[in-house]
Amino acid sequence: MNDTPSGERIQIAFFGKRNAGKSSVVNAITGQNLSVVSDIKGTTTDPVYKAMELLPLGAVMIVDTAGIDDTGELGQLRVEKSLHVLTKTDIAVLIIDSTQGISAIDEKLIAEFQARKISYIIVYNKSDKKAMQVNSIHEIAVSAKTGENIQALKELLAKQVCQPVNPKPLVADFINTGDCVLLVIPIDESAPKGRLILPQQQVIRACLEVGAIPICCRDTELATTLKIISPKIVITDSQAFGKVSKIVPETIYLTSFSILFARYKGDLELVVRGASKLDNLKTGDKILISEGCTHHRQCNDIGTVKLPHWISEHAKCELNFSWTSGNEFPKNLQDYSLIIHCGACMLSPKALQFRQNTAVAQNISITNYGTAIAHCHGILKRSLEIFPEVSALLK
């Protein structure tokens, strides 16, 4: 975890027809043979991701996709996966084979970029074979083969303007310079060896950024710590919330890392409203538990064991759970009574918001791990005190 988290990176995705040279251009830009290049159409199947620095833009994630003109059943699936990348793309690059020129399929993609308000550039590749006249500052002719204009393309990319990856503050709107913030971080067998987890690191960093004073302790030392200092707010790991809420006096604000991230990345009100669905579940209802990554860096058995257990106890009935992880998220959510998403620490706000919007569009309740856990344990209201407009929803 020495790197900028993937969820904080600007996503630059490369699209275009098969054999236009997407993978070759991506490799030329990253300086690595990251994607397989071949003249066999359809070589790149699943999107390929590569984190890099592109100054002055900063930390970016380069995404190479499969051709958008693929055919057949499998090809169609690849096209869908490529188009799905659009839901989290900040800057799009359309690669065109200069010897073939721009096609109807390329124009459709451009219309899609425009409809989604994604800034984009058009790259005419294979300039060694045919030199193209470019007409706007959003176009460039390059050759992945000879390296011509690859540096200029990097510079052009770095100049693109896009929405900030995270438009919302994590803590800056309620924590001020000089405020003391106490972070409760249990160090048990589920904590990773030798480091803190991403949300904890990010909250500490965000506190430091505003000049606040973050202090950390384990749940076991919380009572002792509160004898020494008097923080403005205590931020705890969700799983220790019950225990922590008994120790922290009512005069001190208390919330969890999950609540802060639910607000930072997505729609806190939406997930708080979604949690009330937990009170209206009946036997046989289908619940989708969706995780944003496949390696479960910090989620261990929360999604697979603990959450289903807590929810079943809360709902007092037999429920039907299913799971998705990583990039997969069902298009059709109609069968589900409730979606419970993970904290999405590895996802960008754009990616999480796409999932939340998908649920909203289909009128399906959606909540998240931290909010659902707090609700099942009867402590949601307290954890929202710091955000009165959201806690008002619970009255």
Q: Does 281 bind ligand SF4 (CB under 6 A)?
A: no
Q: What residues contact residue 395 under an 8 Å CB cut-off, 6+ apart?
A: none
Question: Taking CB under 6 A as the criterion, which residues in 328-357 touch ligand SF4?
Answer: 342-347
Sheet of 180-184: strand order equals: 213-217, 180-184, 233-236, 253-256
Least Å distance between CB 198 and ligand SF4? 7
Kindly tell me which of 70 and 237 has the beta carbon lying closer to Mg ion. 70
Does position 286 bind ligand SF4 by CB under 6 A? no
Q: Cβ closer to ligand GDP: 134 or 180?
A: 134
**What, of ligand GDP, Mg ion, ligand SF4, none, does residue 342 touch, CB below 5 to 8 Å by kind?**
ligand SF4
By CB under 6 A, name the one of 19, 160, 256, 358 that touches ligand GDP.
19
What is 129-140 written as a DSSP string? T------STTEE
* Residue 4 contact among Mg ion, ligand SF4, ligand GDP, none, beta carbon within 5 to 8 Å by kind: none
**What is the b/e burial string over 101-122, where b = at least 16 CB atoms within 10 angstroms of the residue's CB?**
eeeeebeebeebbeeeebebbb
Work out which of 293, 333, 339, 379 binds ligand SF4, going by CB under 6 A.
293
Nearer to ligand SF4, 109 or 259 (CB): 259
291 is a site residue for ligand SF4 (CB under 6 A): yes
Q: Where are the alpha helices (DSSP H) in the chain?
A: 22-30, 72-85, 104-115, 150-159, 198-209, 222-228, 241-247, 257-265, 268-275, 307-315, 349-361, 369-376, 380-383, 388-391
Pairing of strands 48-54, 58-64: antiparallel
Distance CA 120, CA 358 (A): 24
> Between residues 143 and 356, which has the closer beta carbon with respect to ligand GDP?
143
Q: What angle do CA 16, 129, 14 make, to 5 degrees?
A: 20
Distance in Å, CB of 112 to ligand GDP, minimum: 18
Q: Which of 84, 138, 145, 381 binds ligand GDP (CB under 6 A)?
A: 145
Stretch that binds ligand GDP, among 17-25, 177-185, 255-263, 366-374 (CB under 6 A): 17-25
Q: Tell me the three state secondary structure of residue 60.
A: strand
Over the window 256 to 295, marking each residue x when it contacts ligand GDP by CB under 6 A and - when it does not, the resulting string is ----------------------------------------
In angstroms, rounded to a whole number, what is the distance separating the alpha carbons of residues 224 and 361? 48
Site for ligand SF4, rule CB under 6 A: 291-293, 296-299, 342-347
